[in-house]
Chain A
Amino acid sequence: MTNRQHIKLMLILALAVCSAGGLLLHAGLHPMTASRTSLVPALSGFVSLCIVTALFYTPRGAAWAYLLNGMTVIVGTITMVHYSLADLPSPLTPKALLLQSTFPSIVLLWTKYFIGTAIFDLERTAGAPDARRTGRFFRFPNHGFWLVHLFALSAVYAAGHFLWRR
């Protein structure tokens, strides 16, 4: 095993441990199959823990794993923000908003995004590890792509929530 392969394996393990942590944290908060809503973290956790890690392990699957990993982070961020907005702390102070909401969990969730980026970049730059970074900020696979998709998909989610209640 080369040093690069070892780094990649450790990052994949970090991603798996993060996903398992999130899955267990949710299992402790509510039964995973209690409702449709409880199924979302269960399915996202399963996808992160099994599918994303397996895809990252194969060089050809890295781009799909990166896309799926980012999307699970976006799903988690949007649904947890929604959960906090639906049940705002009272009295509403900046401290309560920061500490008694899902904000700490969202911050933890974003470690998954950065670990995924590190694995994908490790794979993508394998041929030229010392080359300068190029590409447009708002285009895949750069950070701006995720920023745009976070806001755009939040808008789509909100539209679904308010216009198509089921």
Chain B
Amino acid sequence: MKHFMLFKPGWWWLHIIAVLFFFWLGSVIHF
């Protein structure tokens, strides 16, 4: 089971920051 874990428990906050940042980036950039 451990091998299929997508996120290590300690790093969930960094994933939230990354997802919010890239979502925001996609929403503000228009070419």
Contacts and interface: CB of A to CB of B under 8 A. Distances in A.
A82 interface: yes
Contacts of A71: 18
A36 B28 contact: yes
A131 B29 CA distance: 45
* Range, interface on chain A: 20 to 34
Interface residues of B, number: 13
Contacts of A83: 31
B13 interface: no
Nearest to A160: B26
A100 interface: no
Contacts of B12: none
Interface string A51-93: 0000000000000000000010001001100110011000000
B22 A157 contact: yes
A134 to B, nearest CB: 15
A161 interface: yes
A89 to B, nearest CB: 14
B12 to A, nearest CB: 14
Interface of B: 3, 18-19, 22-31
